[in-house]
Amino acid sequence: MSDATPATGLATASPNPVSRLWQRTSRIDPRYLIAGLVTLVLVVAQLRYHMFGGYTRLVLALGVCMATEAALSWFDRGRVVNLQSAYISGISLTLLTKPQGGALWPFVIGGFLAISSKYVLRYREQHLWNPTNFAISALLLAAPSKVAVLSHQFGNDLVTNLVIWTFGLIIAKRVGVLHITLTYLASFLVLNGLRALALGQPLFPELAPVTGPMYQLFVFFMITDPRTVVKGRRKQMIVAALIALTETVFRLLSDRGVPMPIAFSADPALLSLAIVGPIAKWLDLRRTPARAGTPS
């Protein structure tokens, strides 16, 4: 009996600190992890580059998003829901939206569009668009001369990229959407590499944007939105590749001077997600048997 004690002790040995931390994060609501990452991006952006253009923009975007979420959820469900999604949308709008001059209206209208789209543009009680993606795409289409999207303001430097990509990939893995991010990145690199070769352009300048701030927010917060992605790992990867393919087509059309709205040239990635993502989600929901009591 004396020999059994050491064996039992070895069998029940506690995991190392890294393993314990990983196990604890598995019990955290994925929305908290995503909110933490977008907050990290916000802090890095402001501390290193002071890129807000004034804290009024942040207050407006957050205030409108959270107030709209609270009001519409109370009206629709009879209670105020968790405001984490509104928080993420507000910060993302602040980071991505770059209006002409000191205009503040894009943050007010953008915040309202982002959250209200969740309650209006639905199928089988699920929203089809990522809220921030819908709002920014709508602003770009409606007012292309007044609204632009974050491009180079982070400076695309090594330290910033290393911090954001490290935490982004870890959190994507924990949330279970890393395969979506990696599929899109691989598709982007291959397709835009082929595009550069076809056009006789240098390869690396065409691939470099994917390390920039807009794409960081895109691959970690929009394309991986748990509420708007299709069900099933394989289908999620196919949709991610289709979004990259659509983006490449828009870039090629722009290269050839094909007439189209400015928004498709200004930010083909956001517009590709705004088109492909909702269609894929609608088809996925349509093929899934409706739950009892759920409107079809």
Q: List the structure tokens of 229.
A: 């992605």
Spans in the chain with pLDDT lower than 50: 1-12, 18, 21-22, 292-296
141 strand-pairing partners:
none
> CA dist 128 to 7, 88, 226, 227, 273, Å?
54, 17, 11, 8, 11
> CA dist 279 to 106, 218, 264, 285, 286, Å?
26, 18, 18, 10, 10
pLDDT of residue 294: 44
Exposed, middle or buried: residue 161 (CB in 10 Å: 0-12, 13-18, 19+)? middle
pLDDT of residue 7: 47
Domain ranges of the chain: 29-287
Q: List the structure tokens of 212.
A: 């920039």
* Cβ–Cβ under 8 Å, residues 132 and 222: yes
pLDDT of residue 28: 61
pTM, whole model, 2 decimals? 0.83
* Cβ–Cβ under 8 Å, residues 209 and 154: no
Q: What is the CA radius of gyration of the chain?
A: 21
Number of other residues whose CB lies within 10 A of the CB of residue 210: 18
What is the DSSP-derived secondary structure letter of residue 210?
G
The H-or-E segment that residue 126 falls in is strand 126-127
pLDDT of residue 33: 75
pLDDT of residue 155: 53
